[in-house]
Amino acid sequence: MGIKVVPLGAGQDVGRSCVIVSIGNKNIMFDCGMHMGYHDERRFPDFSFISKTKQFTKTLDCIIITHFHLDHCGALPYFTEMCGYDGPIYMTLPTKAIVPILLEDYRKISVDRKGETNFFTPQMIKDCMKKVIPIALHQTIKVDDELSIKAYYAGHVLGAAMFYAKVGEESVVYTGDYNMTPDRHLGSAWIDQVRPNLLITETTYATTIRDSKRGRERDFLKRVHECVEKGGKVLIPVFALGRVQELCILIDSYWEQMNLNVPIYFSEGLAEKANFYYKLFITWTNQKIKQTFVKRNMFDFKHIKPFDRHLADAPGPMVLFATPGMLHAGASLEVFKKWAPNELNMTIIPGYCVVGTVGNKLLSNAGGPQMVEIDKKTTLEVKCKIHNLSFSAHADAKGIMQLIKMSQPKNVLLVHGEKEKMRYLSDKISKDFGVPCYFPANGVTVNIESSKLIPIDISSKLLKRQILEYSQANSKQFEDQQQQQQTHQQQQKQDNSDENINNLDPDEQPFKKIRSPITQLPIQGILVAKDYQNLKLLDPSEASSELSINNINLNYILNYKIQTNNKSTTTSAMDGLEILQDRITELLPHDQINRINQSQLVIKNQVVIQFDKVQQQFTIRWSNHHEQLFSDIYKLLEKQFGEQL
């Protein structure tokens, strides 16, 4: 069948994540985000790639949202309520709870404050969320008879999940954003060794190996402390949930330890939201938070208070955590405009900022005073210090390689990153893991060839019987090999000194060899296809029952005449059966070979062998149910007596 992938967003880019994956005849949209750096039609993915006639519900089998960040879910109400998609949408319960709040916050900023048009309404957000079906961690949901999905813990933010999608024998893992390093409030990402046909992974930090986390935390606290000691104000742009909790836990503990009185503020409403959702979804946090939550809520901060906008003009030092994290709108941008012209102040950007945002412009020219374009009408002189201390909850290069090793994919496709960094990582993945790696641009289709293997269900009855027969036959051969090795070893000891034996190449010392594990097993049965889909390999008796046909017994007789070059030479009945019996015991245990009399053997109560001394011939009787056993016996006859022909 094959797998087809088309990024509509996040192809050689960060932001507007939206990837269409076709597995067999099923089409899945992974994420439906907006680009925070654009304010025109480029803000949303180009959905015309899905259907030129806008038959989105008919074309797509489902949408899967990995987490609540707007670059992964921001276009969802637009796609469902304005473009007309009416199919199922899957996300975790924390994501379902938080997404509408962030969507409404952003809508207010874009429409109510900026006056933008062609934007979704509050009612559209509500109607969109009615289509959402929550999925629990490690829960497998069958979207339909063929497509199933399963969620895995991704770290990153509260409720973030990676998704495993399977159709038939083909599967895809889509990571969304994830973090392989645990932090102060969330655990690290984890997935089974699912061996998907394709792993689609984010690559925000494709070429970065992060330094010590403790070192970054010390640097962060030192810079903040030094700035407020000199009377400056510190602005830390963050997103509503995620890094802000991490940094608040850190700075609140430091303020307590250092006995500092400088005020620290949350952006309006952040504290209440964080407390509510982390308490509601406590099972998604790390073990320490779970254990201490009853005694002490880690998010009840002693030194951090809600922020009122008039405080931005208050004199004296302070620290402010304000949303959003990329300085593209909202409280963080408003406060930045006021504080940026003062060289005593500082802005610390703890996360990634996409191209086009004010945050990205600041980081591109950090180091001294600069003129920054806020929008088409506004340019701002920036004199405050700008620092980027990465507390981003994305996997670095080491973490990405770790996830590939963990999941064991057959192919890898990179999204959510920058082109040149993707190119470097792609080469490294192909070299280290020996798998094809792709990094397509938006709108470019990648076709992944599927496995040529055909899955067959094997009857447990057939499998047990043939494993038993195979192991019994091979155990005898192994015993003989061991005996030969022991004999060879004794001979070597007689012919060589101990010193010479020790100097032999290990591969030349037969007594050093051990039995290799059985990795392949020949199995014979009847292949049955029902409903033109599932193939089954069955025992003959099971096949008869499965197909509702009577079991047919066919009895065969074969005369095998011995011809010798020397006409005076004959083989006695005793000799003929003795020779054949010795050969058969190499295949089967003694208790499965029954000697009836001097001229007759019965093998496994299934095959009867007689030898006629006068005619110098073997007569073999067997049925159609014992073809394999007869075949093995016939090969022994050919090997032993065929040389005399």
- Encode pLDDT of 243-273 as tens digits: 788 888 899 999 999 999 999 998 866 556 7
Phi then psi for residue 296, to 5 deg, are -150, 125
Instruction: Give the pLDDT band of residue 39 (cuts 50, 70, 90).
Output: confident
Query: Checking phi first, is residue 318 left (phi over 0); if not, alpha (psi -120 to 50) or beta?
Result: beta
SS3 category, 438: strand
Residue range 352-366, pLDDT digits in tens: 888 888 999 998 877
Q: Computed over its alpha carbons, how large is the radius of gyration of the chain?
A: 36
pLDDT given at position 407: 97
pLDDT given at position 236: 95
Residue range 389-402, pLDDT digits in tens: 877 778 899 999 99
Q: How far is 124 from 78, CA to CA, in rounded Å?
A: 8
pLDDT given at position 496: 57
Residue 503: burial class (beta carbons within 10 Å; 0-12, 13-18, 19+) = exposed
- Name the fold adopted by 213-388: Rossmann fold (3.40.50)
Exposure string for 528-566, b = 16+ CB within 10 A, e = fewer: beeeeeeebbbbbebbeeeeeeeeeeeeeeeebebeeee
pLDDT given at position 504: 45
State the SS3 of 234-293. EEEECCCCCHHHHHHHHHHHHHHHHCCCCCEEECCCHHHHHHHHHHHCHHHCCHHHHHHC
Model confidence at 509: pLDDT above 50: no
pLDDT given at position 131: 97
Between 456 and 219, the higher pLDDT residue:
219
pLDDT given at position 451: 67
Residue range 291-339, pLDDT digits in tens: 666 656 666 788 999 898 899 999 999 999 998 888 988 889 999 999 9
pLDDT given at position 605: 82
Residue range 417-432, pLDDT digits in tens: 999 999 999 999 999 9
On the CB side of 554, how many CA atoms lie within 13 Å of its CA?
Answer: 6
Tell me the percentage of the chain whose pLDDT exceeds 90.
46
Instruction: Give the pLDDT band of residue 508 (cuts 50, 70, 90).
Output: very low
Residue range 6-28, pLDDT digits in tens: 999 999 998 899 999 999 899 99
CATH assignment of 555-644, given 3.30.310, 3.30.70, 1.10.10, 1.10.3470? 3.30.310
pTM: 0.67
Helix, strand, coil proportions of the chain in percent (round to 5)?
40, 20, 40
The domains of the chain are located at 3-209+393-444, 213-388, 456-546, 555-644
Model confidence at 604: pLDDT above 90: no
pLDDT given at position 539: 84
How far CA 99 is from CA of 113, 134, 195, in Å, comes to: 21, 12, 31
Instruction: Give the pLDDT band of residue 568 (cuts 50, 70, 90).
Output: very low
State the SS3 of 314-326. CCCCEEEEECCCC
Model confidence at 507: pLDDT above 90: no
The residues that are catalytic are: 202
pLDDT given at position 405: 96
Model confidence at 644: pLDDT above 50: no
| Closest C-alpha to 266, from 281, 252, 253, 282 | 252
pLDDT, mean over the chain: 85
Where is average pLDDT lowest: 139-143, 149-153, 227-231, 244-248? 244-248
Which residues 6+ apart lie within 8 Å of 130 measured at CB? none
Q: How far is 571 from 354, CA to CA, in rounded Å?
A: 90
pLDDT given at position 513: 46
User: Are 3-209+393-444 and 213-388 equal in CATH topology?
Assistant: no
pLDDT given at position 535: 83
Superfamily of domain 3-209+393-444: Ribonuclease Z/Hydroxyacylglutathione hydrolase-like (3.60.15.10)
SS3 category, 174: strand
SS3 category, 208: coil
Cβ count near 483 (within 10 Å)? 10
